[in-house]
Structure 1
Amino acid sequence: MEINLTKSIATDGSTVLESGNGTFCFLRLTPGALLVTISGNDQGQFGSAALDEIRLEILRHGKLELLIDAEQAELVTVEVSQEWTRFFAMTRQQLTRVSVLTGSKLINLTVAIAQHLSQTGNLIQIYTDRSLFDVALAKASTAQVIKNARA
């Protein structure tokens, strides 16, 4: 598949990748905590760009808490799901927690399969309730701020 994407920086400082009917937005909450918002479809048109953005954060900070808001995600191909599964399996030592908000049964099932096949145990937490995900988001931001203040 040909990769045709645009990368830009939004006014809030987030990095935005757009391609076809899909968008990834990466916002560093604090050093070591990254929010990824996914909308639309990922049929492989991003290549490795989305996972590369996460890998860069891991390189910058060593350990990373990853929060993924996939409530507006509509479709992900089997190949893309397999890439995410490999990514989680390979980086589980660098990821302190992965919280994923899903908005559809299809995306929920896709993440659950990736969770199982990556053999990461309880590393990945799946949320279907926005308010519970927002609590995890607030905890991630607060915990990192407190941790950084003590360092």
Structure 2
Amino acid sequence: MPEITRETLPDGTLRLAGGRATFAYRRLRPGALLVTISGIDEGQFGTATLDEIRMEMLRHRPVELFIDTAAAIAVTGSVPQEWTQFFALNREHLTRVSVLVGNKAIELTVAIAQHLSQTGNLIQIYSDAELFAARVAAAASHR
């Protein structure tokens, strides 16, 4: 298992890094969280990646979640199932999940999680980075 590092950046962003992947968590406002994922998530983080979202849900419910996977290459192992289960179990604590995808493999993985989590229209998939950025900006400015 690779070593996992956890650091808080000067702008308040929390960054988890391990193996060939990084996760960055930035609170846009209370109840709105941007998660930026890059690299290959092979399950090396255990529950840490979802625990950060759970912590935001404990502080501020419901949460609007933005997940930028444009720099993600792949997810392997049980990771897709863990995310699917997370969405299914936490549906009532999430207002919307907007996911920016950067490749077909990630898009397919997210679409499968969207379907199997049985959360209806909770998860919205974006391939247009500008539209996704506009949604993030709108959420950040909404008070």
TM range (shorter): over 0.9
- Name 2:59's counterpart in structure 1: 60
Match of 1:101 in 2: 100
TM-score normalized by the length of structure 1: 0.92
Cα deviation code 1:5-59 (max 9, x no counterpart): 0100011101000001100000000000000000001000010000000000000
Give the residue type in structure 2 aligned to 1:107: I
Identity %, equivalent residues:
59
Residue type at the aligned position of 1:36: V
Q: Is the 8 Å Cα contact of residues 6 and 14 (structure 2) preserved in structure 1?
A: yes
SS in 2 for 1:53: helix
Q: Distance in 1 between matches of 2:12 and 2:48?
A: 18
Equivalence for 1:35: 34
What secondary structure, in the 3-state scheme, does the structure 2 residue paired with 1:93 have? helix
Count of paired positions: 143
Structure 1 vs Structure 2 CA RMSD: 0.9
Which structure has more helix as a fraction of its residues? 1
Unaligned runs of 5+ in 1: 146-151
Amino acid aligned to 1:87: F
- Report the Cα offset of residue 4 of structure 1: 2.5
Matched with 2:13 is: 14
Give the residue type in structure 2 aligned to 1:93: E
